[in-house]
Amino acid sequence: MIEEGSKSSKAMVEKRQLFMEMRAQNFDVIRLSTYRTACKLRFVQKRCNLHLVDVWNMIEAFRDNGLSTLDHNAEINVSRLETILSSIFYQLNKRLPTTHQINVEQSIGLLLNFIVATYDSEGHGKLTVFAMKAMLATMCGGKILDKIRYIFSQISDSNGVMVFAKFDQFLREVLKLPTAVFEGPSFGYTEHSVRTCFPQQKKILLNTFLDVLMADPPPQCLVWLPLMHRLANVENVFHPVECSYCRSESMMGFRYRCQQCHGYQLCQSCFWRGHASGPHSNQHQMKEHSSWKSPAKKLSHAISKSLGCMPIGEPPHPVFPEAAERPQDLVHTTNTLESPSRLDEEHRLIARYAARLAAEASNSTQCPPTDLSFNFDANKQQRQLIAELENKNREILQEIQRLRLEHEQASQPTPEKAQQNPTLLAELRLLRHRKDELERRMSALQESRRELMVQLEGLMRLLKQDEEQKQAVQTGGSPHSSPSHSASCTMPMPIRSTSAGSTPTHTPQDCLAGVGDDVLDAFSQGVPRNLRNDLLVAADSITNTMSSLVKELHSVDDGLEEEEENMRNGREKEERKSYRFDMRLSQSKRI
Residue 296 has pLDDT above 70, yes or no: no
Mean pLDDT of 524-540: 57
Residue 4 has pLDDT above 50, yes or no: no
Give the pLDDT confidence score for residue 584 in this predicted structure.
60
Mean of all residue pLDDT scores within the chain = 76
Mean pLDDT of 174-183: 94
Give the pLDDT confidence score for residue 393 in this predicted structure.
83
- Determine the Cα–Cα distance for residues 76 and 81; give it in Å rounded to an integer: 7
Give the pLDDT confidence score for residue 377 in this predicted structure.
62
Q: Is 93 left (phi over 0), alpha (psi -120 to 50) or beta?
A: alpha
Containing H/E element for 395? helix 369-411
Give the pLDDT confidence score for residue 403 in this predicted structure.
84
- Percent of the residues in the chain that have a pLDDT greater than 90, as a whole number: 38
Phi, psi (rounded to 5 degrees) for 522: -65, -20
Mean pLDDT of 173-183: 95
Q: Is 568 left (phi over 0), alpha (psi -120 to 50) or beta?
A: alpha
Give the pLDDT confidence score for residue 60 in this predicted structure.
94
Give the pLDDT confidence score for residue 518 in this predicted structure.
52
Q: Are 223 and 217 in contact (CB under 8 A)?
A: yes
- Closest to 18 in 3D by CA, of 139, 175, 151: 139
Name the pLDDT band for 492 (thresholds 50, 70, 90): very low
Which residue type occupies 412?
Q
Give the pLDDT confidence score for residue 580 in this predicted structure.
65
Percent helix, percent strand, percent coil in the chain, to nearest 5: 65, 5, 30
3 state DSSP class of 82: helix
Q: Is 202 left (phi over 0), alpha (psi -120 to 50) or beta?
A: beta
Give the pLDDT confidence score for residue 579 in this predicted structure.
62
Contacts of 515 (CB under 8 A, 6+ apart): 450, 453, 454, 456, 457
- Determine the Cα–Cα distance for residues 567 and 562; give it in Å rounded to an integer: 9
Mean pLDDT of 546-559: 62
Most confident stretch, 7-11, 297-301, 432-436, 481-485: 432-436
Give the pLDDT confidence score for residue 56 in this predicted structure.
93
Indicate if the alpha-carbon torsion angle 215, 219, 220, 221 is positive or negative: negative
DSSP string, 527-584: S-HHHHHHHHHHHHHHHHHHHHHHHHHHTGGG-HHHHHHHHHHHHHHHHHHHHHHHHH
Residue 83, Cβ density class (10 Å: 0-12 exposed, 13-18 middle, ≥19 buried): middle
Give the pLDDT confidence score for residue 369 in this predicted structure.
47
- Determine the Cα–Cα distance for residues 272 and 291; give it in Å rounded to an integer: 18
Least confident of 78-82, 334-338, 430-434, 556-560: 334-338
CA 405 to the chain's CA centroid: 30
Q: Are 193 and 179 in contact (CB under 8 A)?
A: no
- Determine the Cα–Cα distance for residues 275 and 287; give it in Å rounded to an integer: 15
pLDDT tens, position by position, 114-154: 999 999 888 888 999 999 999 999 999 999 999 999 999 99
pLDDT tens, position by position, 9-41: 555 566 688 989 999 999 999 999 999 999 999
Q: Are 296 and 503 in contact (CB under 8 A)?
A: yes
Strand-pair category, 251-252 with 126-128: unpaired
Torsion of CA 113, 117, 120, 123, to 10 degrees: 80
Give the pLDDT confidence score for residue 312 in this predicted structure.
52
3 state DSSP class of 124: coil
- Closest to 151 in 3D by CA, of 60, 213, 107, 86: 213
Which pTM does this prediction carry? 0.54
Least confident of 105-114, 283-292, 431-440, 540-549: 540-549
- Determine the Cα–Cα distance for residues 49 and 235; give it in Å rounded to an integer: 16
- Percent of the residues in the chain that have a pLDDT greater than 70, as a whole number: 62
DSSP string, 420-464: HHHHHHHHHHHHHHHHHHHHHHHHHHHHHHHHHHHHHHHHHHHHH
Q: How many CB atoms lie within 10 A of CB 129?
A: 17
